Structure 1
Amino acid sequence: MLHAVIMAGGAGTRFWPASRADRPKQLLDLTGDGTMIQATAARLGDLVDNDRILVVTNERLVEPIQVQFPALPAAAIVGEPCKRDTAPCIGLAAMLVSRDDPEAIMVVMPSDHVISPESAFQSAVRYGAGLVAAAEDRIVTFGIQPKYAAETFGYIERGESISDHAAAPPTYQVARFREKPKGDVAREYFESGRFYWNSGIFIWKAKTILDALRRYEPAMYAHLEAINAAWGTPTQAKTLATEFAAIQGKSIDYAVMEHHKDVVVIEAPFLWDDVGNWQSLERLNESDANGNTVLANHLGIDTQDCIIKADDDHLIVTLGMSGVIVVHTRDATLVADKQREEDIREVVKKLQANGWDAHL
């Protein structure tokens, strides 16, 4: 059967000050359609029932996520004791899913993407699950046709076509996974027409990904196996804390995808946005006549090309402003040049260094 695993452990530091340690990006409503994680679960439609959804997050977010999903059983939300990247997260999820369904097929997805239309996503997942069911060792991923030479995404180079009928989305064997490239290389990828952005969405059999981790990451697998053996016993919490912390963190791309032989990429037949920073709001929301993206109570005078966001009814007035980001929250306000947006991460580091934990 198909199971859905939602990875929800990210910090979303580029969305400070709205994104905080106890309310990161996946728990924010950035599009007006509910929080990011709620939209991720809703996107599944009738693909899976609630008893086949597993959310893996960090332990401090378990309760806030339970509030978001009152219909999910408590056991469906698993808290990691520390951050160890996506491979341990996925490995743990695969072991837990396999306990009740050894033949499970998993669709694994991040909790903070925007995808539309939902019907196209669901059809693509069904098609991908069929490809996995047809080949014992196959891994399926989704590639996004690049819109520009991005330096912030990983890339997938496509190989031989394996599309088996005209109605199927273009489907290829993966030639190689490529890390985030520098400018010249990104342009080469974009212009070649052979590369996709890596969406970070995967479909595989649980036993396939576990076999791959056992083969390529035996030390990691041993720690995960110890956690699985203690699951549901009085030592579960202690074993999880000890064994998970002992894992050397690694992404699933490094741990498995770059080594596995039968990896297939489906050209995504849906629109996708990873909502990576405040400027994403310009793509997801309509702008006013002056090019401003406004999600706040705002009065703009001689204001162009700005992003204005507030959590409440606080009035934001801008006068003679152009190309800035203004984000107001209860206890912090950001005013930043749009061209310096990547440096918001440095703001968070400075707050940490100064011991201003109340604002993190």
Structure 2
Amino acid sequence: MGDIQAYLASKYMSGAKADAILSRSEAGRPKKKKRRIDQAVPVAVGDGTGLLIADEDSLGNGWGQAEPEEEDTDVPVVTAAAKTLRLKKSNWSLPSASSSTQPEPAAEEPPAESSTATATSAPPVKKRKGGLLTAAQLKEEAEALAIEEARKEAEREQERLEARRRRRAEGIEDDEDLANDDDDDVDDHPDHQRTVYRDRSGKIVDAQAERAEQIKAEAEDRARQAAKKDWNKGLVQRNQREVEAQRERQVASTSFARSANDRDMNDELRNEVRREDPAAAFLTQRKKKGPQRPKYTGPAPPPNRFGIPPGFRWDGVDRSTGYEAKLFQKINERSRKAKEAYQWSTEEM
């Protein structure tokens, strides 16, 4: 615990509190003894002629004694005696009559191909272990198996292509090559190069059919919306609109030049009925074909302000409240008084 507090105080704290923690931790920590590094014995190598080769660095002060070095280190120091030191092998050797001086051959380096092959080879598949496996382990095992299968398949395909290339180079073609050529022709067909779309379940989806169905649904929706706009219109307005549309199509198909002898224009103007036409009373009107409602043919009914005739089943009995009669009486009386007032005002003139 003290080491943690000392570490936090040295790294993340400052001030008197940090100094107190550091001083307490240093006071409680045992001081390490200063160790003395033993100097190795200088090595002298000779060839038997009295010539010595000595390392001057190992002499220290020049009298064969190394100067003591004192280090206060926190890491453990490994001291090895002169007998246990592994000295560097010297190239000097003693001459002998039986053998001649020959340099030792250097160690052969391993070939680079093996390392390359090892580096490029796929990772080995771990053997299946018994017992329960976690999801991560199962996923890792499945991925390793898939990678191994893909590698093997690629190797087989590469071998097959190499063999096929060699056969073609030699001018030999067998049934397999012909079948592969047919397969290549089939793969080059545009239908086989078309993109295949699938849904979430993996089922193949025909994009063109989906697009056609979407266009059909949009057309039906537009027709439905147009029909909804005609719901609040009467049958007469619909027929009139259809007649106008037919007329527009007919006009579009006719020539642009029109003369006074145009039969269609003259018939249209002749059949049009105008209220201000003085001959409209005695002109023969074409009778409309089709069923006609029966009309009332009995005695004259009492007048009403709207001019609506009674039905053909009316028996002639007035069942009203008399309001229409009083209304006409008041109207007549008002007009009579206005006429009398005008006559009286102009009588003495």
- What is the TM-score normalised by the length of structure 1? 0.13
Which of the two has greater helix per residue? Answer: 2
Higher Cα Rg, which structure: 2
Q: Which has the higher contact order (CA 8 A, sep 6+)?
A: 1
Which of the two has greater strand per residue? Answer: 1
